[in-house]
Each structure stands twice: as C-alpha cells, then as structure tokens.
Structure 1
Amino acid sequence: MELSAVIEALGALDRQCNVCVRTDSVYVKNGITTWIHKWKSNGWQTASKSAVKNVDLWMQLEALTLKHNVTWEWVKAHAGNRYNVEADALARAEVERQVMKR
C-alpha cells in the first residue's frame, strides 16, 4: 500500500517539482534509493536470486522519480510525527470510504 501511495502522490504532480517524500516504510525508501539499482542490474532479481515483488510498481515509481527532484526521508511510525499521523488518518479515511461504497 505504501508503494502505491507514493506512486499516486508523485503521479498527481502536473509539473516538475522538488519533493521530499517522508515515509515510515524502510521497504519503500531503501527500495527506490538503493535496492532498485541492484535489482535492475540483476534482471529484477534480489540478491538471493528470487524475483523482485511488485516490479511493475517499482518501474512506475522509478519513472516518476526521474521526472522530479525527489529526496527521501524515513520517519518512525506511530511516534507522533505530524506528517505520519496525517498520512495514517488519510489512509484510514479512504479505506473507510471504500468500504462504505460497497
């Protein structure tokens, strides 16, 4: 879900921007800043030679990051970080909205 959220957020930008993505997901931060380079050079395989999960999403995210000047900041989850608290509230509200649509 975190990976899709970043893709949606960056995809909503209609012009090149300087963006700071704050995430509590080590998976997303390390995936796009470190691991993706190794995955690509290994034919989208991990160091243990298994297939990278969500390759389509990683490709989308990489393409979007190339359109913008993106910096990445990891924040501890549920530690009172204003942005993390707000993101969690928005995510919960959207889940509730989707459930109510059924």
Structure 2
Amino acid sequence: MKFFLMMFFGLVGFAFANDVSGMDMIKSYSVAGAVIGLGIAALGGAIGMGHAAAATISGTARNPGIGGKLLTTMFIALAMIEAQVIYTLVFAIIAIYGNPFIG
C-alpha cells in the first residue's frame, strides 16, 4: 500500500509539471478529482457488494427455504449499489469533459 501511495505522489508531479496557463491546472485538478472520486466510489461499492453477498450466503445457509427471496433481494441491492458507482462515473465524465470552469 505504501508503494502505491508513494508511486501516486511521485507521478502527480508529472501531471502538473507542464503548467502553461491556469486552464491547464484546472483540467489537471478535474482529472485528478475524477479519478480519485471514482476510485473511492468503486472501493465503497465493492465493499458493499461483498457484504451483501456474504449476508445472503449466510442467510441461505441458516434457512435454505428462503434462498430464492434472499437472492432476489440481494440482486436488487446490488443494482442499487452499482447505480451509485455509475452516478459517480457520470459525474467524473462531466468533471473531465464538461467542466464549467473552463472557458
């Protein structure tokens, strides 16, 4: 983990090295914010999906008779979790390509 953190901070210098104008800095920050935000959203979604699947497996193991109901409920929950990650992807794309701070 330390390796990735140090590599990230080491490569940030390359992203911001060619600062010709303020607009380039805004674009760089937009890309960095979009990537970091999407990474956090994907991590949170993956953790949530893992917990949902573990709870469904545990519930099915305890009471196999309601496995179908639990599976249906789990798929609905997974769709809602994934929708939040997709919303973050849309906001990231807007931040990169439709940035209101760029003239």
What TM-score bracket applies, with the shorter chain setting the length? under 0.3
**Structure ID, larger Rg:** 2
Higher helix share: 2
Higher strand share: 1
